[in-house]
Structure 1
Amino acid sequence: MPKRCWLLSVLACAGLWSAAAVPARAQALLPYALELDFEYLETQGLALARDAVQLLRLQQVDLALPRAELATQLAPDAFQTWFILGTLQAQRENPEAAIAALQRARALAPEEAGVSFTLGRAHFIAGDYRTAVEEIQTGLRLEPDSVEALFDLGNAYLKLGDYGAAIESFENAVDLDEAFWPAINNIGLVHYEQGDTEAAIDRWEAAVAIDDGSAEPLLAIAVAHFAQGRLEEGIAMGETALELDSRYGDLEFLAENLWGERLLDDTRAFFFSPPIRAVLTRLQVAPPTASPDE
């Protein structure tokens, strides 16, 4: 939209200007109201966008969002404002709004890989994993060495059940950053769903060796040991993992983190065991209400 028309729209929406209601003498003054410094407005819009980024880094999404929305009005021709707005909407898990904003960003800057990567995340949130793969691949053609994008690509393949492509993407991420334990962890998730428990444990142990404060791979090892009949070892490790981060005591949270059906079934049995139920109760996490056999 041309900047002059945009200003008229803002005035109309704010109730400050109406062609039908304003007398002729007032209409003669209207051009003076339009003599604004649009470069200044755009600068202010970009400043608001930077504020939104800072708030996003502080996880203050609710405060960042109105700033980002205003930024797109003040600087509608800057891809950065639409990109930030789309990122925030994705963060709030509003995929439709995120996709709409990010498509505006890409129309303004088609060579920005980050826009395609974030579009991929938005489509992933929407459950459209095939389009997520396509968008992330578009971004990787522009920026092939993005560890996070390769990780997201692996996750999309995992949701599609394409285990070979998922492992390849995760391994490519680790090749670029050998300390990126989430990709190593998710290789373990794939192996477990394939029935290769020992390979899964090996990957999860490698993830814990990189970050011994990571609850997810530690809990996964505990569940695997418990399923193998190594009950005491599994329970001890599980208690440690849940004390590190009690969110992992929620089966829905684990599913959101791409734990597959086989691992979730074994985790349900693990959580139903009396010692782990006691840990969950102590940590104020609701334990399973039904036996995994029911």
Structure 2
Amino acid sequence: MLNKLREQTVFKGNWLLSLLVSVGVWQCSVPVMGQMLLPYTPQLNSEQLEQQGLEVAEEAAQLIRFQQHDLALSRAKLAVQLAPNKYQPWFILGTLYIIKQELEPGVEALEKALVLEPEEVGIKFTLGNAYFQQGKYQQAATALEEGLEIKADVPSAQFDLGNAYFKLGRMAEAIAVYQKAVAQQEEFWPAVNNIGLIKYEQGNISSAIEHWQKALEIDEEQAEPILALGVALYIQGQKEEGLKLGEAALELDSNYGEIQHLKDNLWGEKLIKDTQTFFTTPQMQGILAQLEKDS
């Protein structure tokens, strides 16, 4: 599980959108201009332009909440032109680019926002997620660590930090921060799931199974822990039960029949190898062939 804030990360529901709720700093109003019989160009001072820019940024944030991303992007671009020295328009613009998977301009905008407001945790968390998607795992970890030093009780950011540690090979630290996420939010099944992924790579299959079972106790309709559990049980000799779970997982989400999708979701080499063996069974071959036919 990578950041199913992308389903979640990404992002997972999308936790970036929830961060925008905390950027409620637009308390200013734009002066009302008098009606004129003839067209004219009003002379606005810099303070008025900034006020307008912040209001346009607020419009963009509202549009994001309603999934109107293209409209929000045009508003955000205008907002940074009107208020280039305020962090909020850059933060919203960067977030929009990340949501649209345009990572390079997204990171550039977020870095500008961070220069303007170095202690804003939302920017640090969003940058951490964006760096991770770029494969810059150390930069991701640093940004997330800095944000969590300011605001420690954000499970989604703890989860992202755990993922960064995972990719850096810092497995003990990854488990510790996943556990913090679960302590903050007991139903945060992706963190429980990812502990299982680590345990499997460490050769502790029984512990991995326990964590995937716990993840399914939280949400029984999640394909990832169902498939992982199926593979583990199959490898341990419980073949019938394992195959049954594998079929159920792919019925829920056929993407998990693709090895690259599993790699993208942090499945390690050992689990990938065992999954490939699992997929070569006649029963799973039949299911995968049918899924390909239906696609």
Distance 2:274 2:282 in 1: 15
Aligned partners of 1:192 and 1:200 also within 8 Å: yes
The 5-angstrom pairing of residues 261-272 of structure 1 reads: 261-272=269-280
Match of 1:122 in 2: 130
Q: 2:116 aligns with which of 108, 125, 128?
A: 108
52-61 or 197-206: which moved more?
Answer: 52-61
Spell out, residue by residue over 1:213-235, the C-alpha distance to the aligned partner (whole angstroms, 9 max, x if none): 11111111011112222211111
Deviation at 1:249, TM superposition (A): 1.4
Match of 2:258 among 243, 250, 257: 250
1:283 is paired with a residue of what secondary structure?
helix
Structure 2: which 5+ residue stretches go unaligned?
1-39
Name whichever of 89-98 and 195-204 sits farther off: 89-98
User: Within 1, Cα distance between the matches of 2:95 and 2:237?
Assistant: 45
- Asked which structure has the greater CA Rg, the reply is 1
Q: 1:154 aligns with which of 138, 146, 162?
A: 162
Query: Which residue in the other structure is 2:197 paired with?
Result: 189
Q: Does 1:281 align with 2:289?
A: yes
Deviation sequence 1:64-91 (CA, Å, 0-9, x none)? 3333222222222221111111122222
Gaps of 5+ in 1: 1-31, 288-294
Equivalences for residues 67-106 of structure 1 within 5 A = 67-106=75-114
**Distance change (3 Å), C-alpha of 1:286 and 1:221:** farther
Could you tell me how far 1:37 is from its partner in structure 2?
5.9
Shift of 1:60: 4.8
Structure number with greater CO (CA < 8 Å, separation at least 6) is 2
| 1:81-138 CA-partner distances (Å, limit 9, x unpaired) | 1111112222233333222111111122122111111111121111111111111011
Distance in 2 of aligned mates of 1:160 and 1:113 = 23
Q: Does 1:214 align with 2:192?
A: no
Given residue 251 of structure 1, which amino acid in structure 2 is its aligned partner?
Answer: I
Q: What one-letter code is carried by the residue in structure 2 that aligns with 1:167? A: I
CA shift for structure 1 position 147: 0.6
Displacement of 1:281 in angstroms is 2.5
**Greater helix proportion:** 1
Cα displacement (A) at 1:53: 3.3
Q: CA shift at 1:285, angstroms?
A: 7.2
Mapped to 2, the partners of 1:92 and 1:133 lie a distance apart of: 22
Among all aligned residue pairs of Structure 1 and Structure 2, give the percentage whose two residues are the same amino acid.
Answer: 50
For 1:233, the equivalent position in structure 2 comes to 241
Paired residues of 1:117 and 1:149 also in contact (CA < 8 A)? yes
Which SS does the other structure have where 1:127 is aligned? coil
Task: Give RMSD over aligned pairs.
Answer: 2.2
Deviation at 1:35, TM superposition (A): 0.8
Partner of 2:292, secondary structure, is: coil
Residue 49 (structure 1) aligns with: 57
Q: Which 10-residue stretch deviates more, 97-106 or 133-142?
A: 97-106
User: For the residues of structure 2 that align with 1:52 and 1:280, how far apart are their CA atoms?
Assistant: 42
Paired AA for residue 264 in structure 1: I
* Counterpart residue identity of residue 151, structure 1: F
Q: What residue in structure 1 maps to residue 14 of structure 2?
A: none
The more displaced of 66-75 and 125-134 is 66-75
Deviates more, 1:51-60 or 1:213-222: 51-60
In the other structure, the counterpart of 2:5 is none
SS in 1 for 2:140: helix
Q: Deviations over 1:18-75 (max 9, x none)?
A: xxxxxxxxxxxxxx84613655544443344344334444555444333322222222
Residue 137 in structure 1 maps to residue 122 in structure 2: no
CA distance in 2: counterparts of 1:285 and 1:82, whole angstroms: 45
Distance 1:272 1:54 in 2: 48
Q: Structure 1 residues 212 and 48, CA, compared in 2 at 3 Å: closer, same or farther?
A: farther
Q: TM-score, normalised by structure 2?
A: 0.80
Question: Separation in 2 of the partners of 1:285 and 1:167?
Answer: 39
